[in-house]
Amino acid sequence: VKFIKQLSDVYRYVLDSQNKEVVDLTTEIKFVQAYVFLQQIRFGDNLQVRIEVPPNSPIQIPPLSLQMLLENAIKHNSIVEDAPLQIYIYLEDHQYIVVKNNLQVKNTGVESSGLGLSNIKARYEYLTNQPVHIAQTPTEFIVKLPVLQLQQV
């Protein structure tokens, strides 16, 4: 029953937000939690997601941005019992929403198109002059999304 409720919440959010430029961060986080629940049905404890953002924040975000980053991490990394994928979402200095994951690249033999990250960057370029920061170290992949306040959009 909980699976159906979460699936319904995900689907409703996708439909409700498709024509919006931004949504509040609290609403996006609730959606992400439902999406993570569905992914954890598939991966179990091998997918670990920690979210630390203040509740009822005035921060705005393009809809589905966090979901795209989660999907990107799941798509490009191995997720196995002895090496779980760990994703951390948090607010940094009230300037960035950070999505960071440990790096355990899946060798599929297929080069990534980078379409998801390009989409996010383009959406932010439309909304603000603050750039999206993308970094990769030998152990982590990090994306920093600029915080959007309601008056900016």
Per-position pLDDT tens, the chain of length 153:
888 888 898 888 888 888 899 999 999 999 999 999 999 999 999 999 999 998 888 899 999 999 999 999 999 999 999 999 999 999 999 899 999 999 998 876 666 667 889 999 999 999 999 999 999 999 999 999 999 976 544
Q: What is the DSSP string of 113-129?
A: --HHHHHHHHHHHHH-S
- pTM for the whole structure: 0.89
Locate 45 and state its tokens: 């404890």
What local confidence, expressed as pLDDT, does residue 149 receive? 73
Decide yes or no: CATH 1.20.120.1200 for domain 2-152.
Answer: no
Domain boundaries, the chain: 2-152
Return the pLDDT at 153: 43
Q: Which helix (H) or strand (E) holds 128?
A: none
Is-contact 48 120, C-beta < 8 A? Answer: no
Whole-number pLDDT of residue 12? 85
Tokens 């997720």, residue? 79
- pLDDT at position 111 is 64
